[in-house]
Amino acid sequence: MSEPIRFTSADRALVESDIIEVLTLGLDIGSATSHVSISRLTMVRGHNRYTVSSTEVVYQSPVIKTPFGGDGHAFIIRTDLESMIDDSLLKAHVDRDDIESGVVILTGNALRRHNARQIADLLASFSGKFISISAGDRLESTMAAYGSGTVQESVGGDCLNVDIGGGTTKITRCVDGKVTELTAIEVGGRILQFTDDGYVGHAEPNLALYTANNQLPEYGSELSAVELEQIIDRMAQTVLGAVQGYDLGDAQRLDSITEFPTSGTVILSGGVSQWITNIESSVECDDLGQRLAFKTRDMLEDAGYKIEVADDPIRATVLGASQQRMQVSGNTVFISDERLLPIRNAPVSSVTVPAEDFDQHTITRLVKDSVSKALFNGDHGLRALGIDWLGSLTYSRADAFCRGVIEGLKGLNTPITLLFRQDIAGLIGIHFVEEMGYQKPVICLDGLDQVDFDFVDIGEVINQTGLVPVVAKSILFNSGSKLN
């Protein structure tokens, strides 16, 4: 076993610890379009927390139509996406070994394709690298809010991000620099596609929500101008209804938000919103996107909202993924064996350590209760505990906590992996190994702003800093069940 990495590590490079640069690759696969972004993140330490201080876009690929194949667009064509990645690396003059982190984002109707899980592993060839998979409305809503600039714009105010994609629309409210509410609805510009001669091509099931008879039009049929206008009008009305806080029934993918006041600013993003600024208009409009974009904008303006469009609307989600979902551990970490990393897709169970005194049985009960709620499909393997530690850290509290965790995780084939909000990971890790003589693997990370989430990826240690990248996420595929 290799030497443990501890918070007192003498070979830690102080300058590297204060400022970290990470080269990232993002692959965004949406209902309508797909693209690659390569970025360089600069993360700066402040009060034992690391935040993204700047993002330099190294390369952005052309936006392509998401390559679907098979009857009814049943699957995503993997080889086309692989070629786009290889071409992007070549044009960016970046080797695969230079990529230190990455994310594959699946959104909207792309999630419903039967090979979505296989596509999610598209970057697995970046062996040993820190590659995250993100899929699901809630997480993508947050990503889009960050990538569109809505979070930053809301500092000192109230803003709403409306991210209209090919298959779904995500709506996220941000107040004073924080995400406060979000929802998602079944509205997208590519739920109806046309053939080259203007007849009905592919129709997604959610289109039936907006047709006069709630039925899908047949392939090769022709819709009148009135029928098309009615569909687009109903979709735009649905977006407005979501902004105003209405329950939209079958069109609602997540719970509705409270009504957004007209005093706030609405920032549009997503592939559909791209049409308003006419950026990258080389992507032909063979769907509802262009008309939906202008109808939605006009309807929101008529309702009294001030409308802005994100600087790079189609790339908001992947830019937000690099900015928001990646955290870096604090300085006080403990990793008993560096070979345990990287870790991918570990389910997270959240535990709040009480402020008052407790014994090990209290912690055992808290751990078992939390783990039992988070066992996915009978899985008894790798998992992590997200710890919010209230109260002081004394020897007796640390000892009771460590013993309670060991007992609470008994029977699970998992290293003890603890993610702390507070800066105590190094002391807890040392207590496990040196005070208790615990022989099994232990990973303790801290300085994380967020410890309450569904899944986590933990990357390899960055250079000689002893710092570890962490990504919080949700992963949902077309069955609606969470990924193990």
Collect the ranges in the chain with pLDDT lower than 50: 7-16, 127-128, 279-283, 324, 375-380, 475-484
Which pair of tokens denotes residue 232? Answer: 């687009």
Does CATH number 3.40.50 belong to domain 150-305? Answer: no
Phi and psi dihedrals of 394, rounded to 5?
A: -110, 170
CA distances from 246 to 254, 256, 372 (A): 12, 7, 35
Confidence (pLDDT) at 452:
52
Render pLDDT for 242-267 as a digit per residue (tens, 0 to 9): 999 999 999 999 999 999 999 989 99
Confidence (pLDDT) at 284:
55
As a whole number of angstroms, the distance between CA 400 and CA 193 comes to: 61
Give which of 184, 178, 171 is closest to 300, Cα–Cα: 171
As a whole number of angstroms, the distance between CA 204 and CA 200 comes to: 11
3-state DSSP percent of the chain in helix, strand and coil, to 5: 30, 30, 40
Neighbours of 40 (CB within 10 A): 15
Does CATH number 3.40.50.2300 belong to domain 14-136+320-324? Answer: no
DSSP label at 21?
E
Neighbours of 304 (CB within 10 A): 9
Phi and psi dihedrals of 458, rounded to 5?
A: -120, 120
Per residue in 81-111, is it b (16+ CB within 10 Å) or e — as a string? Answer: beebbeebbeebebeeeebbbbbbbbbbbbb
As a whole number of angstroms, the distance between CA 171 and CA 5 comes to: 42
Q: What are the domain boundaries of the chain?
A: 14-136+320-324, 150-305, 343-458
CA 378 to centroid of chain Cα atoms: 25
DSSP label at 476?
B
Q: Which secondary-structure segment (H or E) carries 175?
A: strand 169-175
Which pair of tokens denotes residue 124? Answer: 């697995």
Q: What is the pTM of this model?
A: 0.64
Confidence (pLDDT) at 303:
96
Q: Which long-range contacts (CB under 8 A, 24 or more apart) does 153-157 make?
A: 153/265, 153/267, 153/308, 154/178, 157/264, 157/265
Query: 70 and 46 in contact (C-beta within 8 Å)?
Result: no
